[in-house]
Amino acid sequence: MNWFYEQPVKIFFGNNAKIIELAGGRKTLLVTSNYFVKSGIAQDLSKKLGNCYIYSNVSPNPDVSEVNECAKILRENNIECIAALGGGSVIDLAKAASIMADDISEYMNGKKVDKAALPVIAIPTTAGTGSEVTCVSVISDRKTGRKLPIVSEKFYPEYAVIDPGFTYSLPKKITASSGIDVLCHAVEGYWSINHQPICDSLAYHAAELVFEYLPRAYKNGNDKEAREKMTEASVIAGLSFTLPKTSAPHACSFPLTSIYGIPHGEACALTLDHFIKINKEDIRTRKFAEKLGFSDTDELAEKVYELKRETGLRTGLKDFHLSDDDIKDLVEKSHHPNMKNNPIEITDKILFELYNELKER
Ligand SMILES: NC(=O)c1ccc[n+]([C@@H]2O[C@H](COP(=O)([O-])OP(=O)(O)OC[C@H]3O[C@@H](n4cnc5c(N)ncnc54)[C@H](O)[C@@H]3O)[C@@H](O)[C@H]2O)c1
Ligand SMILES: [Zn+2]
Protein backbone atom coordinates (compact mmCIF):
# COMPACT_ATOMS: atom_id res chain seq x y z
CA MET A 1 0.00 0.00 0.00
CA ASN A 2 1.34 3.45 -0.95
CA TRP A 3 0.43 6.45 1.13
CA PHE A 4 1.39 10.05 1.80
CA TYR A 5 1.16 12.14 4.94
CA GLU A 6 1.91 15.80 5.61
CA GLN A 7 0.75 18.33 8.13
CA PRO A 8 2.23 21.78 7.56
CA VAL A 9 0.18 23.67 10.22
CA LYS A 10 2.04 24.51 13.44
CA ILE A 11 -0.39 23.72 16.24
CA PHE A 12 -0.51 25.31 19.71
CA PHE A 13 -3.10 23.83 22.09
CA GLY A 14 -3.91 25.48 25.43
CA ASN A 15 -4.40 29.16 26.09
CA ASN A 16 -4.42 31.80 23.39
CA ALA A 17 -1.63 34.05 24.69
CA LYS A 18 0.60 32.85 21.84
CA ILE A 19 -1.46 34.71 19.18
CA ILE A 20 0.26 38.07 19.74
CA GLU A 21 3.75 36.58 19.46
CA LEU A 22 2.83 34.63 16.32
CA ALA A 23 1.33 37.67 14.58
CA GLY A 24 4.72 39.25 15.28
CA GLY A 25 3.66 42.86 14.66
CA ARG A 26 2.55 42.15 11.07
CA LYS A 27 -0.30 44.31 9.75
CA THR A 28 -3.23 42.03 10.58
CA LEU A 29 -6.90 41.69 9.63
CA LEU A 30 -8.85 40.05 12.45
CA VAL A 31 -11.66 38.13 10.73
CA THR A 32 -14.43 37.16 13.12
CA SER A 33 -18.20 36.93 13.53
CA ASN A 34 -20.61 39.36 15.16
CA TYR A 35 -20.73 37.39 18.40
CA PHE A 36 -17.09 38.24 19.13
CA VAL A 37 -17.59 41.94 18.32
CA LYS A 38 -20.70 42.19 20.53
CA SER A 39 -18.91 40.48 23.41
CA GLY A 40 -15.86 42.82 23.04
CA ILE A 41 -13.48 39.86 22.66
CA ALA A 42 -12.51 40.90 19.10
CA GLN A 43 -11.73 44.50 20.13
CA ASP A 44 -9.56 43.29 23.06
CA LEU A 45 -7.59 40.97 20.80
CA SER A 46 -7.27 43.64 18.12
CA LYS A 47 -5.83 46.12 20.66
CA LYS A 48 -3.30 43.55 21.82
CA LEU A 49 -2.32 42.79 18.22
CA GLY A 50 -1.70 46.52 17.67
CA ASN A 51 -1.46 46.96 13.91
CA CYS A 52 -4.89 45.44 13.32
CA TYR A 53 -8.26 45.97 11.56
CA ILE A 54 -11.46 43.98 12.25
CA TYR A 55 -13.71 42.36 9.60
CA SER A 56 -16.87 40.78 11.00
CA ASN A 57 -19.29 40.50 8.09
CA VAL A 58 -19.25 36.69 8.17
CA SER A 59 -22.44 34.64 8.20
CA PRO A 60 -22.71 30.91 8.91
CA ASN A 61 -21.92 29.02 5.64
CA PRO A 62 -20.25 32.16 4.22
CA ASP A 63 -21.22 33.41 0.78
CA VAL A 64 -18.88 34.21 -2.13
CA SER A 65 -19.84 37.91 -1.81
CA GLU A 66 -18.47 37.99 1.76
CA VAL A 67 -15.23 36.33 0.65
CA ASN A 68 -14.85 38.79 -2.23
CA GLU A 69 -15.51 41.77 0.06
CA CYS A 70 -12.94 40.55 2.59
CA ALA A 71 -10.37 39.93 -0.19
CA LYS A 72 -10.84 43.51 -1.38
CA ILE A 73 -10.13 44.84 2.14
CA LEU A 74 -6.99 42.70 2.31
CA ARG A 75 -5.74 44.09 -1.02
CA GLU A 76 -6.62 47.73 -0.36
CA ASN A 77 -5.00 47.81 3.08
CA ASN A 78 -1.83 45.86 2.25
CA ILE A 79 -2.58 43.36 5.00
CA GLU A 80 0.29 40.97 5.81
CA CYS A 81 -1.47 38.39 7.99
CA ILE A 82 -5.01 37.22 8.85
CA ALA A 83 -6.13 36.16 12.34
CA ALA A 84 -9.36 34.15 12.03
CA LEU A 85 -11.26 33.99 15.33
CA GLY A 86 -14.46 31.95 15.01
CA GLY A 87 -16.06 28.72 13.94
CA GLY A 88 -15.53 26.92 10.65
CA SER A 89 -17.42 29.62 8.78
CA VAL A 90 -14.99 32.37 9.85
CA ILE A 91 -11.88 30.25 9.32
CA ASP A 92 -13.08 29.07 5.88
CA LEU A 93 -13.89 32.62 4.81
CA ALA A 94 -10.42 33.76 5.94
CA LYS A 95 -8.73 30.95 4.01
CA ALA A 96 -10.70 31.64 0.84
CA ALA A 97 -10.09 35.41 1.09
CA SER A 98 -6.37 34.86 1.76
CA ILE A 99 -5.67 34.31 -1.96
CA MET A 100 -7.23 37.73 -2.66
CA ALA A 101 -9.05 36.62 -5.82
CA ASP A 102 -11.44 39.10 -7.49
CA ASP A 103 -14.13 36.42 -7.53
CA ILE A 104 -13.74 33.26 -5.45
CA SER A 105 -16.62 31.56 -7.26
CA GLU A 106 -14.21 30.87 -10.16
CA TYR A 107 -12.54 28.29 -7.91
CA MET A 108 -15.72 26.44 -6.99
CA ASN A 109 -15.62 24.17 -10.03
CA GLY A 110 -12.29 22.54 -9.34
CA LYS A 111 -10.06 25.26 -10.90
CA LYS A 112 -6.62 24.97 -9.30
CA VAL A 113 -5.84 27.70 -6.78
CA ASP A 114 -3.00 29.44 -8.59
CA LYS A 115 -2.47 32.49 -6.35
CA ALA A 116 -0.17 33.02 -3.37
CA ALA A 117 -2.03 33.15 -0.05
CA LEU A 118 -1.55 35.46 2.92
CA PRO A 119 -0.63 33.61 6.14
CA VAL A 120 -3.61 32.72 8.35
CA ILE A 121 -3.54 32.24 12.13
CA ALA A 122 -6.63 30.12 12.77
CA ILE A 123 -8.24 30.40 16.22
CA PRO A 124 -11.25 28.04 16.38
CA THR A 125 -14.13 28.88 18.73
CA THR A 126 -16.30 25.82 18.00
CA ALA A 127 -15.26 22.21 18.60
CA GLY A 128 -16.27 20.90 15.22
CA THR A 129 -14.81 21.51 11.81
CA GLY A 130 -11.07 21.12 12.40
CA SER A 131 -10.72 23.80 9.68
CA GLU A 132 -7.72 25.18 11.60
CA VAL A 133 -5.63 22.23 10.31
CA THR A 134 -7.27 21.39 6.99
CA CYS A 135 -6.56 22.48 3.41
CA VAL A 136 -10.30 22.89 2.74
CA SER A 137 -12.50 25.99 2.61
CA VAL A 138 -16.25 25.45 2.24
CA ILE A 139 -18.03 28.34 0.55
CA SER A 140 -21.65 28.91 -0.47
CA ASP A 141 -22.93 30.69 -3.55
CA ARG A 142 -26.43 31.78 -2.57
CA LYS A 143 -27.20 33.06 -6.08
CA THR A 144 -26.82 29.59 -7.57
CA GLY A 145 -27.77 27.64 -4.41
CA ARG A 146 -24.42 25.82 -4.33
CA LYS A 147 -22.27 25.00 -1.31
CA LEU A 148 -18.91 23.46 -2.16
CA PRO A 149 -15.50 22.77 -0.64
CA ILE A 150 -12.48 24.30 -2.37
CA VAL A 151 -9.34 22.25 -1.70
CA SER A 152 -5.82 23.64 -1.97
CA GLU A 153 -2.50 23.27 -0.17
CA LYS A 154 -2.50 27.08 -0.10
CA PHE A 155 -5.36 26.91 2.43
CA TYR A 156 -3.35 25.32 5.23
CA PRO A 157 -3.17 27.97 7.96
CA GLU A 158 0.30 29.07 9.08
CA TYR A 159 -0.62 28.45 12.73
CA ALA A 160 -3.54 26.98 14.65
CA VAL A 161 -3.96 28.43 18.15
CA ILE A 162 -6.52 26.26 19.88
CA ASP A 163 -7.93 27.44 23.21
CA PRO A 164 -10.82 25.33 24.58
CA GLY A 165 -11.82 28.38 26.68
CA PHE A 166 -13.31 29.99 23.56
CA THR A 167 -15.88 27.18 23.33
CA TYR A 168 -17.39 27.76 26.82
CA SER A 169 -19.85 30.31 25.39
CA LEU A 170 -21.22 28.00 22.66
CA PRO A 171 -25.00 27.58 22.92
CA LYS A 172 -26.31 24.02 23.29
CA LYS A 173 -27.50 23.73 19.70
CA ILE A 174 -24.13 24.73 18.22
CA THR A 175 -22.28 22.50 20.72
CA ALA A 176 -24.34 19.56 19.46
CA SER A 177 -24.15 20.31 15.75
CA SER A 178 -20.45 21.17 15.62
CA GLY A 179 -19.64 18.31 18.04
CA ILE A 180 -21.27 15.63 15.90
CA ASP A 181 -19.42 16.99 12.83
CA VAL A 182 -16.25 15.79 14.61
CA LEU A 183 -17.59 12.24 14.66
CA CYS A 184 -18.52 12.44 10.95
CA HIS A 185 -14.98 13.59 10.09
CA ALA A 186 -13.44 10.71 12.03
CA VAL A 187 -15.71 8.00 10.57
CA GLU A 188 -15.71 9.33 7.00
CA GLY A 189 -11.94 9.98 6.92
CA TYR A 190 -11.41 6.43 8.23
CA TRP A 191 -13.57 4.59 5.70
CA SER A 192 -12.63 6.88 2.77
CA ILE A 193 -11.05 5.05 -0.15
CA ASN A 194 -8.04 7.39 0.38
CA HIS A 195 -7.46 6.08 3.92
CA GLN A 196 -3.98 5.68 5.35
CA PRO A 197 -2.57 4.42 8.66
CA ILE A 198 -1.60 7.71 10.37
CA CYS A 199 -5.06 9.15 9.79
CA ASP A 200 -6.67 5.85 10.89
CA SER A 201 -5.24 6.09 14.38
CA LEU A 202 -6.24 9.74 14.68
CA ALA A 203 -9.81 8.81 13.68
CA TYR A 204 -10.19 6.20 16.46
CA HIS A 205 -8.91 8.64 19.05
CA ALA A 206 -11.27 11.43 17.97
CA ALA A 207 -14.35 9.16 17.73
CA GLU A 208 -13.78 7.73 21.22
CA LEU A 209 -13.57 11.25 22.66
CA VAL A 210 -16.84 12.32 20.99
CA PHE A 211 -18.84 9.38 22.37
CA GLU A 212 -17.50 10.11 25.86
CA TYR A 213 -17.48 13.90 26.01
CA LEU A 214 -20.11 15.31 23.61
CA PRO A 215 -23.06 14.37 25.88
CA ARG A 216 -21.24 16.00 28.81
CA ALA A 217 -20.38 19.21 26.92
CA TYR A 218 -23.99 19.37 25.70
CA LYS A 219 -25.54 18.89 29.15
CA ASN A 220 -23.21 21.33 30.90
CA GLY A 221 -21.39 23.92 28.78
CA ASN A 222 -19.26 24.83 31.81
CA ASP A 223 -17.82 21.30 32.08
CA LYS A 224 -14.23 22.37 31.35
CA GLU A 225 -12.90 18.85 30.95
CA ALA A 226 -15.61 17.99 28.40
CA ARG A 227 -15.00 21.24 26.49
CA GLU A 228 -11.24 20.59 26.42
CA LYS A 229 -11.67 16.98 25.25
CA MET A 230 -14.16 17.97 22.51
CA THR A 231 -11.72 20.65 21.32
CA GLU A 232 -8.96 18.03 21.25
CA ALA A 233 -11.27 15.66 19.35
CA SER A 234 -12.04 18.40 16.82
CA VAL A 235 -8.43 19.14 15.88
CA ILE A 236 -7.48 15.43 15.86
CA ALA A 237 -10.47 14.60 13.61
CA GLY A 238 -9.45 17.50 11.35
CA LEU A 239 -6.03 15.87 10.99
CA SER A 240 -7.71 12.51 10.34
CA PHE A 241 -9.77 13.64 7.34
CA THR A 242 -7.87 16.47 5.65
CA LEU A 243 -5.88 14.02 3.46
CA PRO A 244 -8.37 11.08 3.07
CA LYS A 245 -11.27 13.57 2.67
CA THR A 246 -14.89 13.08 3.74
CA SER A 247 -17.41 10.94 1.89
CA ALA A 248 -21.15 10.20 1.58
CA PRO A 249 -22.60 11.97 4.68
CA HIS A 250 -20.73 15.20 3.85
CA ALA A 251 -21.73 14.94 0.16
CA CYS A 252 -25.40 14.75 1.25
CA SER A 253 -24.95 17.57 3.78
CA PHE A 254 -24.19 20.19 1.12
CA PRO A 255 -27.74 20.29 -0.39
CA LEU A 256 -29.34 19.66 3.04
CA THR A 257 -27.66 22.86 4.27
CA SER A 258 -28.01 24.99 1.16
CA ILE A 259 -31.67 24.07 0.44
CA TYR A 260 -33.08 23.45 3.95
CA GLY A 261 -30.70 25.53 6.10
CA ILE A 262 -29.78 22.60 8.36
CA PRO A 263 -26.54 23.46 10.26
CA HIS A 264 -23.48 21.71 8.85
CA GLY A 265 -22.77 19.08 11.53
CA GLU A 266 -26.44 18.27 12.01
CA ALA A 267 -26.81 17.86 8.23
CA CYS A 268 -23.84 15.45 8.06
CA ALA A 269 -25.07 13.42 11.04
CA LEU A 270 -28.56 13.06 9.54
CA THR A 271 -27.27 10.35 7.21
CA LEU A 272 -24.23 9.08 9.19
CA ASP A 273 -25.96 6.15 10.92
CA HIS A 274 -27.65 5.21 7.62
CA PHE A 275 -24.34 5.15 5.75
CA ILE A 276 -22.78 3.07 8.53
CA LYS A 277 -25.46 0.47 7.76
CA ILE A 278 -25.06 0.89 3.98
CA ASN A 279 -21.28 0.42 4.35
CA LYS A 280 -21.52 -2.68 6.55
CA GLU A 281 -20.08 -4.93 3.83
CA ASP A 282 -16.92 -2.81 3.90
CA ILE A 283 -14.33 -4.58 6.04
CA ARG A 284 -12.81 -1.35 7.33
CA THR A 285 -16.19 -0.02 8.48
CA ARG A 286 -16.62 -3.24 10.46
CA LYS A 287 -13.12 -2.88 11.89
CA PHE A 288 -13.81 0.70 12.96
CA ALA A 289 -16.91 -0.40 14.89
CA GLU A 290 -15.02 -3.26 16.56
CA LYS A 291 -12.02 -1.09 17.48
CA LEU A 292 -14.40 1.28 19.27
CA GLY A 293 -15.79 -1.62 21.29
CA PHE A 294 -19.07 -2.21 19.41
CA SER A 295 -20.10 -5.74 18.53
CA ASP A 296 -20.90 -4.80 14.93
CA THR A 297 -21.73 -1.91 12.58
CA ASP A 298 -25.43 -2.01 13.56
CA GLU A 299 -24.50 -1.31 17.18
CA LEU A 300 -22.28 1.60 16.07
CA ALA A 301 -25.15 2.99 13.94
CA GLU A 302 -27.54 2.65 16.90
CA LYS A 303 -25.09 4.52 19.14
CA VAL A 304 -24.85 7.38 16.61
CA TYR A 305 -28.66 7.54 16.51
CA GLU A 306 -28.82 7.65 20.35
CA LEU A 307 -26.16 10.38 20.44
CA LYS A 308 -28.28 12.50 18.09
CA ARG A 309 -31.36 11.99 20.31
CA GLU A 310 -29.38 12.76 23.45
CA THR A 311 -28.07 16.04 22.02
CA GLY A 312 -31.33 17.29 20.53
CA LEU A 313 -30.34 16.84 16.88
CA ARG A 314 -32.70 15.95 14.05
CA THR A 315 -33.04 12.29 13.14
CA GLY A 316 -35.22 12.86 10.06
CA LEU A 317 -36.64 15.36 7.61
CA LYS A 318 -40.38 15.17 8.31
CA ASP A 319 -40.61 18.87 9.34
CA PHE A 320 -39.83 19.79 5.72
CA HIS A 321 -42.77 17.82 4.18
CA LEU A 322 -40.64 16.71 1.24
CA SER A 323 -42.40 16.06 -2.09
CA ASP A 324 -41.20 13.50 -4.64
CA ASP A 325 -39.64 16.34 -6.62
CA ASP A 326 -37.79 17.59 -3.53
CA ILE A 327 -36.33 14.12 -3.05
CA LYS A 328 -35.34 13.89 -6.71
CA ASP A 329 -33.56 17.24 -6.38
CA LEU A 330 -31.77 16.11 -3.18
CA VAL A 331 -30.61 12.90 -4.86
CA GLU A 332 -29.21 14.82 -7.85
CA LYS A 333 -27.45 17.42 -5.72
CA SER A 334 -25.94 14.83 -3.35
CA HIS A 335 -23.62 13.55 -6.08
CA HIS A 336 -20.74 15.75 -5.01
CA PRO A 337 -17.24 14.32 -5.82
CA ASN A 338 -16.77 13.40 -2.12
CA MET A 339 -19.47 10.74 -2.65
CA LYS A 340 -16.89 8.84 -4.70
CA ASN A 341 -14.68 8.46 -1.59
CA ASN A 342 -17.29 6.17 -0.03
CA PRO A 343 -16.09 2.56 0.19
CA ILE A 344 -19.38 1.25 -1.28
CA GLU A 345 -20.66 2.75 -4.52
CA ILE A 346 -23.65 4.99 -3.77
CA THR A 347 -26.28 4.73 -6.49
CA ASP A 348 -29.36 6.88 -7.07
CA LYS A 349 -31.46 3.94 -5.86
CA ILE A 350 -29.66 3.92 -2.49
CA LEU A 351 -30.12 7.70 -2.16
CA PHE A 352 -33.84 7.53 -3.06
CA GLU A 353 -34.39 4.86 -0.38
CA LEU A 354 -32.39 6.85 2.16
CA TYR A 355 -34.22 10.17 1.61
CA ASN A 356 -37.61 8.43 1.49
CA GLU A 357 -36.86 6.87 4.88
CA LEU A 358 -35.71 10.21 6.34
CA LYS A 359 -38.80 11.93 4.93
CA GLU A 360 -41.06 9.93 7.28
CA ARG A 361 -38.95 10.41 10.43
N1 LIG B 1 -12.72 23.72 6.23
C2 LIG B 1 -13.04 22.55 6.71
O3 LIG B 1 -12.20 21.67 6.78
C4 LIG B 1 -14.45 22.32 7.17
C5 LIG B 1 -14.81 21.08 7.74
C6 LIG B 1 -16.14 20.91 8.14
C7 LIG B 1 -17.05 21.95 8.02
N8 LIG B 1 -16.67 23.12 7.46
C9 LIG B 1 -17.60 24.27 7.29
O10 LIG B 1 -17.62 25.05 8.49
C11 LIG B 1 -18.91 25.66 8.65
C12 LIG B 1 -19.52 25.28 10.00
O13 LIG B 1 -18.69 25.74 11.03
P14 LIG B 1 -19.08 25.58 12.58
O15 LIG B 1 -19.83 24.32 12.78
O16 LIG B 1 -17.82 25.79 13.34
O17 LIG B 1 -20.12 26.76 12.85
P18 LIG B 1 -20.10 28.29 12.37
O19 LIG B 1 -18.72 28.78 12.22
O20 LIG B 1 -21.01 28.42 11.18
O21 LIG B 1 -20.74 29.00 13.63
C22 LIG B 1 -22.10 28.78 13.97
C23 LIG B 1 -22.58 29.93 14.85
O24 LIG B 1 -21.91 29.87 16.12
C25 LIG B 1 -21.42 31.16 16.48
N26 LIG B 1 -20.25 30.93 17.34
C27 LIG B 1 -19.05 30.43 16.95
N28 LIG B 1 -18.26 30.27 18.04
C29 LIG B 1 -18.96 30.72 19.11
C30 LIG B 1 -18.69 30.79 20.51
N31 LIG B 1 -17.53 30.37 21.01
N32 LIG B 1 -19.65 31.27 21.33
C33 LIG B 1 -20.86 31.66 20.84
N34 LIG B 1 -21.19 31.59 19.53
C35 LIG B 1 -20.25 31.12 18.67
C36 LIG B 1 -21.12 31.81 15.14
O37 LIG B 1 -21.10 33.21 15.25
C38 LIG B 1 -22.30 31.31 14.29
O39 LIG B 1 -23.42 32.11 14.47
C40 LIG B 1 -19.77 25.14 7.50
O41 LIG B 1 -19.78 26.07 6.44
C42 LIG B 1 -19.04 23.87 7.10
O43 LIG B 1 -19.32 23.47 5.77
C44 LIG B 1 -15.38 23.32 7.07
ZN1 LIG C 1 -17.84 18.65 8.45
34-91 pLDDT, tens digit each? 999 999 999 999 999 999 999 999 999 999 999 999 999 999 999 999 999 999 999 9
Q: Is the pTM of this model over 0.95?
A: yes
Report which bound ligand comes closest to the CA of 188. 2
Q: What number is the average pLDDT over the span 290-303? A: 98
Report which bound ligand comes closest to the CA of 131. 1
Which ligand 1 atom is nearest residue 91's CA? 1
Residue 320 pLDDT > 90, yes or no? yes
| Residue among 129, 141, 156, 222 to mutate when testing ligand 1 (max atoms within 8 A of CB) | 129
7-22 pLDDT, tens digit each? 999 999 999 999 999 9
Same domain, 137 and 199: no
Domain that holds residue 255: 170-360
Query: Quick one: DSSP state of residue 344?
Result: S
pLDDT at 110: 87
pLDDT at 114: 92
Coil/strand/helix, residue 126: coil
Provide DSSP, 37-60.
HHTSHHHHHHHHHSSEEEE----S
CATH number of residue 273's parent domain: 1.20.1090.10
Distance 250 CA to ligand 2 centre (A): 6
pLDDT at 328: 98
Same domain, 342 and 230: yes
CATH number of residue 121's parent domain: 3.40.50.1970
Same domain, 89 and 75: yes
Task: Please enumerate in sequence order all residues whose Cβ is within 8 A of that of 206, keeping only pairs 6 or more positions apart, or say none.
Answer: 182, 183, 185, 186, 233, 234, 236, 237, 240
| Banded pLDDT at 109 (limits 50, 70, 90) | confident
Pocket of ligand 1 (CB under 6 A): 33, 35, 60-61, 86-90, 92, 125-126, 128-131, 134, 136-138, 166-167, 169-170, 174, 178, 181, 264-265
Quick check: 71 and 104 in contact, CB under 8 A? yes
Provide the H-helix boundaries in 242-314.
248-260, 264-278, 283-291, 297-310
Q: What number is the average pLDDT over the span 193-198? A: 97
Q: Does residue 201 form part of some domain? A: yes
Coil/strand/helix, residue 139: strand
* Measured distance CA(158)–CA(31) in Å, rounded: 15
Report which bound ligand comes closest to the CA of 37. 1
Same domain, 113 and 189: no
Q: Does residue 276 form part of some domain? A: yes
Residue 163 pLDDT > 90, yes or no? yes
pLDDT at 288: 98
Sign for the pseudo-dihedral over CA of 330, 335, 338, 340 = positive
Query: Residue 268: what are its φ and ψ, rounded to 5°?
Result: -70, -45
Q: Does residue 292 form part of some domain? A: yes
List the one residue out of 83, 186, 169 whose CA is nearest residue 129. Answer: 186
Residue nearest to atom 21 of ligand 1 (CA): 87
Q: Does residue 155 form part of some domain? A: yes
